[in-house]
Structure 1
Amino acid sequence: MPAADTLDRIDLQLLAELQRQGRLSNAELAERVHLSPSACLRRVQRLERGGVIAGYRAEVDPERIGLGLTAFVRIRLNHHDAAAVADFAGSVNDWDEVVACHALTGDMDYLLQVVAADLEHFSSFLLDRVLARPGVGDVNSSFVLRTVKAMRGLPLPAG
């Protein structure tokens, strides 16, 4: 698996181009990074095999598919033993509304990014699923008013 310190300038250029436009043909990608198509394909395949490129997906606009509400939900668990943490993590992975979940340091244990159709859908999700989970001690929600910057790729180290 390539480590960050084994990625050269060309690898970083490939990653930058693919983060900008993941559907580039191999020929166009090769041209942009000044490689032959065969050398470009070998490098991309190496990055995929090594897990540096974790996958490809379409970026879907949530509002255009009826998901007009985004919220961040901070959760504190009552217990932090391995079983309680595993149980909560298992539940989170079953909740389609949760598009990201992060374990935190500080006064809350988890931060969930939740998308829902509307406030009614969110309320149902929160009351019927999150608060119904045993071990959930405290929940605090904040609603997104406007997205100023969304993830468009990772900052890559200088090559």
Structure 2
Amino acid sequence: MQNPRISLDETDSRLLAALQRDAHLTAQELGEALNLSPSQAGRRRQRLEAEGLISGYAARLDPARLGLSVQAFIRVQMARHGTETAIAFSRVVETQPEIISAWTLTGEADYLLRVYCEDLGALNRLIHQVLLAQPAVARVESQIVMDQFKPDAPLPV
């Protein structure tokens, strides 16, 4: 079941946009940016958190500075489908820290995985020793990112 859309006014949209740029903004700073008192800005933020629009806060790390020089997208095609197969594959994906996000897809590939690895050898090990080692996996295709010219952007609000 899909979550119902939550209606936002212009101030809510501006607040969410500001927090996506800088989640460290205090109620004082938010209030100044939105032309609200700090208590009004704080209450709005708390309401948006309670309604589930803000699901958490995180720091964006620089993968290159962490020694993660290879970013890739991996398309996975399954040999067979079913609930048990999907659960087993999702457990494998969840245990691999190199896989930072995963999607189920329509079309030829069943899954799309975004990964960060230290080097090509680590990517090769992930593909051959982890993904292709799964009995239900029929095919894996990787695409190595040469350059990310647009960083992960905030959601349009």
TM-score strictly above 0.5: yes
Partner of 1:74: 75
Q: Aligned-pair distance for 1:49?
A: 1.0
Alpha-carbon distance in structure 2 between the residues aligned to 1:22 and 1:63: 23
Alpha-carbon distance in structure 2 between the residues aligned to 1:6 and 1:72: 34
Partner of 2:91: 90
| 1:65-114 Cα deviation digits (max 9, x unpaired) | 00000010000011111110111111111110001101001110000001
| 1:36-83 Cα deviation digits (max 9, x unpaired) | 111111110111111100110000010000000001000001111111
Q: Which amino acid aligns with 2:118?
A: A
Q: Which amino acid aligns with 2:36?
A: L
TM superposition outliers: structure 1 runs of 4+ over 6 Å:
none
Alpha-carbon distance in structure 1 between the residues aligned to 2:6 and 2:51: 13
Write the mapping of 1:107-118 to structure 2, written as runs, cut at 5 A: 107-118=108-119
**3-state SS, counterpart of residue 48 of structure 2:** helix
- TM-score, normalised with respect to structure 1: 0.94
Q: Which amino acid aligns with 1:133?
A: Q
Q: How many residues end up aligned between the 2 structures?
A: 155
Q: Which amino acid aligns with 2:14?
A: Q
Partner of 1:120: 121
Q: Aligned-pair distance for 1:152?
A: 2.0
Q: Per the alignment, do residues 69 and 131 of structure 1 end up closer, same or farther by CA in structure 2, a change over 3 Å counting?
A: same
Partner of 1:52: 53
Show structure 2 runs of 5+ residues with no match: none
Do the aligned partners of 1:20 and 1:152 also contact (CA within 8 Å) in 2? no
Do the aligned partners of 2:72 and 2:116 also contact (CA within 8 Å) in 1? yes
Partner of 2:66: 65
Q: Which amino acid aligns with 1:33?
A: L
Q: Which amino acid aligns with 2:83?
A: A
CA RMSD of aligned residues (A): 1.3
Partner of 1:10: 11
**3-state SS, counterpart of residue 72 of structure 2:** strand
Partner of 1:155: 156
Is 1:144 the counterpart of 2:114? The answer is: no
Is 1:32 the counterpart of 2:30? The answer is: no
- The higher relative CO (CA closer than 8 Å, separation ≥ 6) is in 1
- TM-score, normalised with respect to structure 2: 0.95
Show structure 1 runs of 5+ residues with no match: none
Q: Aligned-pair distance for 1:3?
A: 5.2
